[in-house]
Amino acid sequence: MLKIKFLNLILSLTVFSAIASSVSAAEMKEQHSTRSPQFQKIEQPLALKIGLTAGGLALISAQLWWFLFSKPKSQNAETSDGVQEVSITVDGGYSPSLVTVKRGQPVRLNFIRRDPNSCLEKVLFPDFHIAQDLALNTTTPIEFTPQTVGNYQYSCGMGMFHGAIAVEE
């Protein structure tokens, strides 16, 4: 997920600099042609210029929107037999990264680890005093009962990947 965002940022920057350089090149050409009339002015179709610029700007806006306003996907736990249960896939991070549960009811998070990266082999819930090893391609349930409303962060063993549990009334 992070890698994809990074690639997209690079892509937008490339498109942006391409537009910037083509615009300045066009300006230079025009200046040059007014001073020395022996050079023939090459006029690109206006529609092409507008199309390229509009396309580039749209891409940049989309990227900006994604970076600034896209929120982590939140999922409500489903209750069965009094236990609030949700599956969290561990693959380059935690998905869903935000789970919403109710206060005072047991919670069971089923961590499914698909990522062989040793970075993700442990998951820590400091607020609930939980440190759990996650075996690869296995579902590992983690259970606790949140008694206080709030946002509780969890992370991998080294604190590089994060997720959160939102406890509501």
Residues making contact with Cu ion (CB under 5 A): 119, 156, 158, 160
- Distance of alpha carbon 144 from alpha carbon 147, whole angstroms: 10
58 CB contacts (<8 Å, ≥6 apart)? none
Q: How far is the CB of 156 from Cu ion (least distance, A)?
A: 3
Residue type, 27: E
Closer CB to Cu ion, 88 or 156, in the complex: 156
Q: How far is the CB of 132 from Cu ion (least distance, A)?
A: 14
At residue 164, the 3 state secondary structure works out as strand
Nearer to Cu ion, 15 or 142 (CB): 142
Measured from the CB atom, is 62 or 160 closer to Cu ion? 160
Beta strands at 139-144 and 130-133: parallel, antiparallel or unpaired: unpaired
Q: Which is nearer to Cu ion, 138 or 145 (CB)?
A: 138
6 or 66: whose CB is closer to Cu ion?
Answer: 6
Which residues, 6+ apart, have CB-to-CB distance to 46 below 8 Å? none
Hey, what amino acid is at 59? L
CA gap 85, 99 in Å, rounded? 10
